[in-house]
Amino acid sequence: MADEMDEMMEGGEIKKLMYMTRTAPYGTVYALEALEVVLIGAAFEQDVCMVFADDGLFQLKKGQNTEATGMKNFSPTYRALEMYDVEKLYVEKESMDARGMTEDDFIVDVEVKTSDELTSMMEDMDIVLNF
């Protein structure tokens, strides 16, 4: 991954970059770490998209309230992605349907994509980073 980041910083060429996130928000730290990487990576001004697949889409669930657990609710931060020019947010349809979720459940506007659609998008990327 370090090599990929070095590559990104070299030259002025804009790369197509996909962040694939597949973990639920609080059980592990992966989701929060992914979000932080995306926000930091935004400084490199690449052509970025984020894919929420499997339990990753639970990161975007509306109405999270972590008060009783004593953890930090980082879900409002997804609303800030737009300001960092991370505007292409995709949710995999198959994952969404399996979990009984709909587009209305999410804290930000997303585009729902089938796994077939994501297949071709992935092929079109220069770099795919997984969390």
Partner 1 sequence: MLHTINKSPYTKNSLDTCLRMAKEGSAILLIEDGVYAALTGSEITSTVETAMKKHTFYALSADLEARGIQDRVIDGIKVVDYAGFVDLAAENSGVQSWL
Output the furthest CA–CA distance in the chain (Å, rounded). 48
Nearest CB to partner 1, comparing residues 67 and 123: 67
Q: Can you read off the two tokens belonging to residue 38?
A: 């995306």
String marking each residue 85-104 x if it binds partner 1 according to CB under 8 A: ------------xxxx----
Side-chain-facing half-sphere of 12: CA atoms under 13 Å: 0
DSSP secondary-structure letter at 80?
Answer: G
Interactions with partner 1, residue window 25-44 (CB under 8 A): 25-28
User: Rounded to an integer, what distance in angstroms lies between the CA atom of residue 34 and that of residue 92?
Assistant: 17
Contact 129, 1 (CB under 8 A): yes
Q: Can you read off the two tokens belonging to residue 46?
A: 């690449």
Contact 71, 109 (CB under 8 A): no
Nearest CB to partner 1, comparing residues 46 and 75: 75
Residue 80 Cβ vs partner 1, minimum distance, rounded to whole Å? 18
Interaction between residue 77 and partner 1 (CB under 8 A): no
Interaction between residue 68 and partner 1 (CB under 8 A): yes
Nearest CB to partner 1, comparing residues 2 and 68: 68
Question: Total residues contacting partner 1 (rule CB under 8 A)?
Answer: 25
Q: Which residues bind partner 1 (CB under 8 A)?
A: 23-28, 54-55, 58, 61-69, 71, 73, 75, 97-100
